[in-house]
Amino acid sequence: MVVDIIISTLINGSIYSILAIGFSLVFGVARIINIAHTAFYMLAAFCIYAGTNSFGLHPVLAMGAAIIFVTILGLASYKLIIEKIRVHPAATIIATIALAMIFQEIMILNFGAEFLSVPVLVEGFTVVFGVKITYQQVFTFIFMVILLISVWFLLMKTKLGLAIRATAQDRETANLMGMNESMIALVTIGISVGFAGFAGAIVIPLTVIHPHMWLSPLIIMMAVVVLGGLGSIKGSIIGAFIMGLTEAIIVFLLPMGSFLKGSVALTILIIVLIIKPEGLFGVSIEGE
Amino acid sequence: MSILVYLRRLFVTIKEEIIILPTKVITILFILFLLVLPVILPDSYLMRVLILAAIFAMLTASWDFLSGFAGQLNFGHALFFGVGAYSSALFNLLLKIPPAGSIPLSGLVAVLAGLIIGFPCLRLKGIYLALTTIAFPIILTGVVNALPGITGGELGLSGLDKLTGSRIGDYYIVTLLMLGSCTVMYKLTQSNVGIIFHAIREDEVSLKVSGINTTKYKLLAFCLSGLFAGIAGGVYAHFMRIAGPSTLSVSTSFTIIIYAVFGGVCTIYGSVAAVYILFPLMEVFQLLPQFRTLFFAAIVLIILLYMPSGFIQWIIDKIEKTCSRCGHKNHALRKICRFCERPFKYY
């Protein structure tokens, strides 16, 4: 039981944190609430399915192609649609909702609304304290940790990361200091969508693929971001693991737990917000 | 004698204020069309479409009232709708209250829901509020699914009383209810309360400084919006005779927002017009059900890109001009303002 909860927490927490960091970065830098963020995660999953099933690609190759395709699609939809209405926050949210719905519908048209699955990358399992752990789970977790470390490295140790953080903190000043704000926004969106695609690609052998799979991670991801504080990377990671842990505990300990997991996680979110309206590590953005 | 005076005044108003402005003419023709339609074309299917359109028009207008005017961006408006639907179903099935009682009661329960979510949301602003309000209907969906004994679980509660016996009766009740509630909301937004709502959206701090209790008005917006959305939910439950989890779904919330944006946010009439245009259009697309949502989303993107203030507002701007000196409205063909005679061509 305890081991089950720990495994579930680690895997879900790392997925949520990758998604939440991407979402939070885009919000911080470009002030865009990207509802379609998890739709890109869904698209990556479908790309891998199509790549392995229809084109007969090797799974690893399909993963690479999926990530590249999703990133290009994300950049294109930003350039063609979102950038023109970026100044109106509400319009941006609605446009991204519409985008996500369009992606979902196109996937339903192409693949049908059935549950699909892709083969695992790594076969086999091991038993720890009487609990079966597949190597795919271990592999997913390790990849997620590598991804998290590389995000941290990118943001904290590179010049681009410095520019991204500076823009997130104060757009106008960063612009005055010679950082090309619109270029940085574009790069950030590329990175964010790329990470969403990567998360989808890594995690997909563990779950099933269907066109509505973007909705439930979307809700939890938003909860994570609000819980941790919008624009805070540390907050996103900690919030993600809190949400992952709550979900795991609810699912394994309560009867009817799988129905209630979203409810309890979101109730925690609301309680935190009542006590601390800007989230756990949020910075107040009232000055805008 | 006095009746003659009133008639004369009415006649003058019609002649001077209504015939002159195309939007007013269209509004009155639209209302007349809604009221006369069942008499000239008593088609059961058409009437069903228009009843559902009326319910969603009420719901969308209530979203616009809260999010467009008061600026409290609510992304979980389905909460009120679902609470209304479920509570009227429970009142009807458990306490055997007829629809005439259960629908107003469900409105009151939705007001309570508005208060409950309004209190935590008072401290949140803008994007935090939007992201938090998404959570409430999902929490309730979880509870509904976890308590199948009371709420019927995923299948929902079915076997409610009919609204009235006949389709035409249903049609008139729902349409009049929609017209009445939208008029109330529109009049409220044109009153002093509406000015305070605009100010809350634009600059809450200044409003507080001016000595106005913004908390009270924000809660008022939540409650009124909840009331109308709850009534819409109750009517929906009695009309469909089922209250299921789909009333609480995320896509219901998103659909409402899309309708409102199509019509133009911050105009009650825009929401109503948008629903009456889009909803029957979607029914036409029923022939190609797989393209429905795609078409819907594509329309929204096009509207956002090319008509940022909404389709209805865009049309109004084409057929009416506002005088920049005296602020009165004129139809688009006029060369000079009908009040202050300022020519339009200079700007």
Whether residues B174 and B90 fall in one domain: yes
Return the sign of the alpha-carbon dihedral for residues A17, A18, A21, A23.
Answer: negative
Please report which helix (H) or strand (E) contains residue B294, including its range. helix B292-306
Task: Please give the Cα distance from B232 to B80 (Å, whole number).
Answer: 9
Please report which helix (H) or strand (E) contains residue B89, including its range. helix B78-94
Whether residues B291 and B320 fall in one domain: no
Contacts of B324 (CB under 8 A, 6+ apart): B342, B347
Task: Please give the Cα distance from B121 to B133 (Å, whole number).
Answer: 8
- At B331 the pLDDT is 80
Interface contact B213, partner A, CB < 8 A: no
- At A287 the pLDDT is 40
Residue B39 lies in a domain: no
Task: Please give the Cα distance from B30 to B52 (Å, whole number).
Answer: 17
| A230/B293 Cβ within 8 A | no
- The three-point CA angle A59-A63-A69 to 5° equals 140
Interface contact B282, partner A, CB < 8 A: no
Q: How many CA atoms lie within 13 A of A82 on its CB side?
A: 30
Whether residues B319 and B233 fall in one domain: no
pLDDT tens string A215-234: 888 888 888 888 887 777 88
Q: Which among A91, A269, A278 is the nearest to B304, CB-wise? A: A91
Q: What is the token pair recorded at B98?
A: 């007829």
DSSP state of B336: B
Residue with tokens 């005679």: B341
Task: Please give the Cα distance from A278 to B323 (Å, whole number).
Answer: 44
- At B116 the pLDDT is 87
Whether residues B343 and B223 fall in one domain: no
Backbone angles phi, psi at A266, to 5 degrees: -75, -30
Residue B91 lies in a domain: yes
Whether residues B319 and B238 fall in one domain: no
Whether residues B175 and B121 fall in one domain: yes
Chain center to CA of B127: 22
Burial string for B306-345 (b: 16+ CB within 10 Å, else e) reads ebbbbbbbebbeeebbebeeeeebbeeeeeebeeeeeeee
Residue B33 lies in a domain: no
Mean pLDDT for chain B overall: 86
pLDDT tens string B78-131: 999 999 999 999 999 888 888 888 899 999 999 999 898 888 778 777 777 887
Residue A23 lies in a domain: yes
Q: What is the token pair recorded at A275?
A: 């006590």
DSSP state of A121: S
Residue A156 lies in a domain: yes
Interface contact B250, partner A, CB < 8 A: yes
Return the sign of the alpha-carbon dihedral for residues A184, A195, B126, A242.
Answer: negative
Task: With CA atoms as reference, report the closest residue to A203 among A124, A117, A262.
Answer: A117
Residue A284 lies in a domain: no
Task: With CA atoms as reference, report the closest residue to A103 among B246, B146, B239, B293.
Answer: B293
Task: Please give the Cα distance from B199 to B264 (Å, whole number).
Answer: 19
DSSP state of A5: H
Q: Is the ipTM of this complex over 0.85?
A: no
| B308/A91 Cβ within 8 A | yes
Which of A53-57, A220-224, B133-137, B194-198 reaches the highest mean pLDDT? B194-198
Biggest CA–CA distance in chain A, Å, is: 59
Whether residues B265 and B319 fall in one domain: no
Size of the A and B interface in Cβ pairs below 8 Å: 121
Mutate to test the interface with A, among B138, B248, B288 (most CBs of A within 10 A): B138
- Work out the number of other CB atoms within 10 angstroms of the CB of residue B246: 16
Which residue does chain A place closest to B121, by CA atoms?
Answer: A274
Q: How many CA atoms lie within 13 A of A229 on its CB side?
A: 15
Task: Please identify every stretch of chain A with a pLDDT value under 50, giving residue numbers as ranges.
Answer: 285-288
Which residue does chain B place closest to A113, by CA atoms?
Answer: B290
The angle that helices A181-203 and A59-80 make with each other, rounded to 10 degrees, is 150
Whether residues B76 and B149 fall in one domain: yes
Task: With CA atoms as reference, report the closest residue to A43 among A183, A198, A259.
Answer: A198
CB neighbour class for B184 (10 Å; exposed up to 12, middle 13-18, buried from 19):
middle
Interface contact B242, partner A, CB < 8 A: no
Whether residues B230 and B320 fall in one domain: no
Residues of chain B by 3-state class (helix, strand, coil), percent to 5: 75, 5, 20
pLDDT tens string B245-282: 888 888 888 888 888 888 888 888 889 999 998 888 88
- The three-point CA angle B331-B332-B335 to 5° equals 95
Task: Please give the Cα distance from B216 to B200 (Å, whole number).
Answer: 11
Question: Could you list the residue range(s) of the whole structural domain that residue B334 is in?
Answer: 310-347
Residue with tokens 């976890």: B146
Which residue does chain A place closest to B292, by CA atoms?
Answer: A105
Whether residues B285 and B328 fall in one domain: no
Backbone angles phi, psi at B227, to 5 degrees: -60, -50
- At B287 the pLDDT is 66
Measured CA to CA in angstroms, residue A204 lies from A73, A196, A278 at distances of: 19, 12, 33
Contacts of A124 (CB under 8 A, 6+ apart): A134, A135
User: A219 to chain B: which residues are within 8 Å by CB?
Assistant: 134-135, 138, 250
CATH number, domain with residue B213: 1.10.3470
User: A87 to chain B: which residues are within 8 Å by CB?
Assistant: none
Question: Could you list the residue range(s) of the whole structural domain that residue A26 is in?
Answer: 18-212
Residue A252 lies in a domain: no
Whether residues B173 and B228 fall in one domain: yes
| A101/B296 Cβ within 8 A | yes
Predicted TM-score (pTM) of the model is 0.85
| B261/A230 Cβ within 8 A | no
Domain total for chain B?
2
Domain total for chain A?
1
The partner residues of A132 in beta bridges, in order of sequence, read A127
How long, in residues, is chain B? Answer: 347
- At A288 the pLDDT is 40
Residue B153 lies in a domain: yes
Burial string for B128-153 (b: 16+ CB within 10 Å, else e) reads bbbbbbbbbbbbbbbbbbbeeeebbb
Which residue does chain A place closest to B293, by CA atoms?
Answer: A105
Whether residues B209 and B96 fall in one domain: yes
Interface contact B125, partner A, CB < 8 A: yes
Task: Please give the Cα distance from B71 to B65 (Å, whole number).
Answer: 9
The gap between the terminal CA atoms of chain A, to the nearest Å, is 47
| B124/A277 Cβ within 8 A | yes
Where do the H-state alpha helices sit in A54-180?
59-80, 89-111, 135-157, 159-169, 171-176
Q: How many CA atoms lie within 13 A of A65 on its CB side?
A: 15
- Work out the number of other CB atoms within 10 angstroms of the CB of residue A18: 28
Task: Please give the Cα distance from A227 to A277 (Å, whole number).
Answer: 9
Residue A50 lies in a domain: yes
Residue A255 lies in a domain: no
Contacts of A57 (CB under 8 A, 6+ apart): A51, A65
